[in-house]
Chains A and B, each alone.
Chain A
């Protein structure tokens, strides 16, 4: 599986502020890649460098094997880009805007028409006849995805596509991105970790101008696997009993928590519950959540 995007040692400063100090990451084909970092961590800077809108101080970026150069737009034929706050020409309709984008991308009229209809359907704007100036933020964001996908890019770059939206709008955008994976790889930045958990295959945490952690989400989870098992017995006193029997665990607030529990540990725990007729309210295998991982990575 080849990489659609490879970034090596990307550096950039603004004035005296070193925003990126050697970002290295790669986005494989057919993948949803979450790019996570705090506000101001350099996510937008990285993305703008990829589409040649910013001149990096150092490092290399290649898209589909071709090197990106600043000011030139050659590699952008592989890319669809959705800016953080997309602005379109308010006097056009969605269809007219897609026609403009398609023409700029060098597509022929028939293809544009066909593709526009497909995409407006995909983003739920197919019935929309009004001009863009009356659109809500969510609608603009959806049109933004449609314009980004018009020329069937290999890589869809979205800069915080969900940050400014209400929960319903966010869910819609995430679903659209998830559905786009059949056609393209998605590289999207966010600071909302539940979004990443919901749709991403891979993730990279940007912190201190570098990628502090990156990889397949499942693998990272295993790496940070303090998968714990938590049991809440009906009678709080039983928690103490469990703690007595399983010395590795601990009890608090009538619950029993066994950290770093293997599958075997969990089985033993269940067996014990059964044998001692302990009724339970809850038996939960805790997955490490990204938020905890992220906090650990950024050292807070």
Chain B
């Protein structure tokens, strides 16, 4: 009961903060733009090609007729979302926990009886909710435009591929929660998350291991063409979900005992 009321109160505070600091607005604008950008880029490709044709021809490239399909739009989505949407989200939430510790704003509330796990859960919940809402908003916009302009049947498994990318985002946010329970600054948190990403990329170079890593969820190319099936991703999905959960569990005792 005490936990729940603390959780609800603190989540309310988080959203007020996101709204008043303007971050919610910026975040929404970015994800709407990201959603619009994918079909727009695809739509503009032939025109871009045409305008650049002369200069390309001068350098020895000849442009033949290029037909844009729904595939171009979704390829854009899976290219832009990790490199921009996910990156912005991670950077924005890098100091989400540590700024409270560093500024000392948490102390009066802890002294009022707010439980530390209610604080951490509310923060985690807020991050996941904002990421999910932004992400699926972007997805919805891309889907709607793509569906309107092109024949959607040429693209396979895009919903599952999108789920995989979302889950990878959840995993990175859980990394933020974990590193925040140990670190003193947002830089340290981001460094930790960056290290995880690099480690995953390096480990992914080993052929057999790569299929079991969270980073495998970023490889959507084969899924979209139908060369790979969702079942090929079962292990990666399960491991990513389990790892995310374990990161959250592992952060709890550290958050409980850390100095604030």
Contact = CB atoms under 8 A, between A and B. Distances in A.
Name which of A73, A80, A81, A82 has the most chain B CB atoms within 10 A of its CB: A73
A77 interface: yes
Nearest to A91: B20
A76 B112 contact: yes
A105 B17 CA distance: 20
Contact of B107 (A83, A104, A106): A83
Contact of A51 (B6, B10, B104, B111): B111
Contacts of B116: 71
Interface in A70-120: 70-71, 73-74, 76-77, 79-83, 85-89, 91-92, 96, 100-101, 103-106
Nearest to A75: B113
Interface string A130-166: 0000000000000010011011000000000000000
Contacts of A103: 5, 9
B108 A77 contact: no
Given A53-B260, A91-B16, A91-B21, A85 B115 contact: no
Given A87-B103, A87-B105, A88-B105, A77 B111 contact: no
Q: Which of B2, B21, B107, B259 has the most A CB atoms < 10 Å from its CB?
A: B107
A290 interface: no
Contacts of A147: 108, 112
Contacts of A89: 13, 17, 105
B104 A85 contact: yes
A54 interface: yes
B22 to A, nearest CB: 10
A67 B10 CA distance: 27
Interface size, B (range): 20 to 34
A80 B107 CA distance: 11
Contacts of A54: 259
A104 B110 CA distance: 9
Contacts of A92: 16, 20
Nearest to A81: B111
Contact of B108 (A70, A86, A91, A106): A86
B110 A101 contact: no
Interface residues of A, number: 34
B25 to A, nearest CB: 14
Given A76-B112, A87-B105, A104 B17 contact: no
Contacts of B114: 73, 104
Nearest to A99: B9
A237 B140 CA distance: 100
B256 interface: yes
Contacts of A77: 113
Contacts of A150: 112
Nearest to A147: B108
Most A CB within 10 A of own CB, among B16, B17, B21, B111: B111
Contacts of B203: none
Contacts of B17: 89, 91
A76 B5 contact: no
Nearest to A101: B112
Given A87-B104, A89-B17, A106 B111 contact: no
A102 to B, nearest CB: 9
Contacts of B260: 53
B5 A106 contact: yes
A27 B111 CA distance: 19
A76 B108 CA distance: 11
Contacts of B16: 91-92, 96
Nearest to A143: B108
B109 interface: yes
Contact of B9 (A71, A104, A144): A104
Contacts of A55: 257
Q: Which of B6, B112, B114 has the most CB atoms of chain A within a 10 A radius of its CB?
A: B112
Given A71-B257, A103-B9, A106-B2, A151 B112 contact: yes
Interface in B77-135: 103-105, 107-116
A164 to B, nearest CB: 14
Contacts of B104: 83, 85-87
Interface string A24-60: 0000000000000000000000000001011100000
Contacts of A144: 108
Nearest to B253: A71
Contacts of B113: 73-74, 76-77, 104-106
Closest 4 CB pairs of A and B: A81-B111, A91-B20, A103-B9, A87-B104
27 contacts: A53-B107, A53-B259, A71-B256, A71-B257, A73-B115, A76-B111, A76-B112, A77-B113, A83-B108, A86-B104, A87-B105, A88-B105, A88-B108, A91-B16, A91-B17, A92-B16, A100-B13, A101-B108, A101-B112, A103-B9, A104-B9, A104-B10, A105-B113, A106-B5, A148-B108, A148-B111, A150-B112
Given A77-B113, A83-B107, 18 more contacts: A55-B257, A73-B114, A73-B115, A76-B113, A83-B108, A86-B108, A87-B105, A87-B107, A88-B108, A91-B16, A91-B17, A101-B112, A103-B9, A104-B9, A104-B114, A106-B113, A144-B108, A148-B111
